[in-house]
Amino acid sequence: MDYSNYSTLKIEMLDTGIMLLTLNRPDKLNAVNRAMLDDLADLWAKLRHDFDTRVVILQGAGEKGFCGGVDVKEGMSEDLMHAPGFYEYQTRLAELQLDMRKIPQPIIALIHGAAAGAGFSFAIASDIRIITPDARFSAFYINVGLGGADMGSSYFLPRHIGTGRAYEFLLTGRFMKAEEAMQLGLASRCVPRDKLLETALELAADIVNKEPLAIRCTKEAINQNLDCAGLESALNMENRNQLLMVMHNIHKGKERPFA
């Protein structure tokens, strides 16, 4: 896959199939403009069919923070001042979170500083979050005259931290500090800034050492079963995956296909 033509993203391929993906507009707190929207949509589409890339580590460039949201200057452009144009733009933004769930690679988000608006949605749509003590999260949308539920926030946040606290953050738009994020289970680990990437790489290496198909099936099962009708549906997905893995291991010639 060719990932060399992005103007707002920096892509580095590290050892054993680990992609380091950097939102690269540090002078704008990595705010999402049209170019970044196009770049991310193209990247996620390619990753769905990239079997060499095994894990994606997502971070924001610069010292200010992970991502400050959508570039508000573009929000005043003429083509967004009527309903059809804005709806098209809004739909494309929202689909980025769905695309993140559809790719087979686990996404490890590294959050330092602010993750607000779109940055918040990117963080909670990722599979694992590692944060620094200065990390701050805010759905923020309601603070700028929009509905507090946007870009997947009303879907992901209640599932991560429960509906009671999710109501509070989405209705107020207030910032969740790093300590709260850890207490609520939103983040897996909180480490000093200089240990952020190192910690992610250790975790990514552990994932990469597993059978690729098993990792893909596990991410798929978790995502599907967040929405399943009940236990029976969840078990059906798990049973399908286990059968697939045993047959896969037999095909590879393992003497003990489920050991």
User: Domain residue spans in the chain?
Assistant: 9-208, 212-251
Q: What is the mean pLDDT of residues 70-84?
A: 76
Query: Is residue 259's pLDDT more than 70?
Result: no
166-178, pLDDT tens digit by residue? 999 999 999 999 9
Exposed / middle / buried, residue 259 (Cβ in 10 Å: 0-12, 13-18, 19+)? exposed
Query: Is residue 211's pLDDT more than 60?
Result: yes
So what's the pLDDT on residue 204?
97
Residues recorded for the chain: 259
pLDDT > 90 fraction of the chain, expressed in percent and rounded: 71
**b/e code 105-117 from CB counts within 10 Å (16+ = b):** bbbbbbbbbbbbb
pLDDT > 70 fraction of the chain, expressed in percent and rounded: 97
So what's the pLDDT on residue 254?
64
At residue 96's C-alpha, the angle toward residues 93 and 97, to 5°, is 110
Site of tokens 């597993």: 210
So what's the pLDDT on residue 79?
76
So what's the pLDDT on residue 110?
98
Instruction: List alpha helices for the chain, DSSP H.
Output: 34-47, 83-102, 118-125, 153-161, 163-172, 178-183, 196-208, 212-225, 231-251
Q: What is the mean pLDDT of residues 12-19?
A: 92
Classify 185 as helix, strand or coil: coil
**What predicted TM-score, i.e. pTM, was given to this entire model?**
0.91
For the chain, what is the mean pLDDT?
91
CA of residue 224 relative to chain centroid, distance:
16
Q: Give the CA radius of gyration of the chain.
A: 19
Q: Place 245 in a pLDDT band, splitting at 50, 70 and 90.
A: confident
Tell me how far apart the alpha carbons of residues 28 and 204 are, in angstroms, rounded to a whole number. Answer: 28
111-142, pLDDT tens digit by residue? 999 999 999 999 999 999 999 999 999 998 88
Helix (H), strand (E) at residue 56: strand 55-60
Query: Is residue 258's pLDDT more than 60?
Result: no
Fold of the 9-208 domain: 2-enoyl-CoA Hydratase; Chain A, domain 1 (3.90.226)
Classify 223 as helix, strand or coil: helix
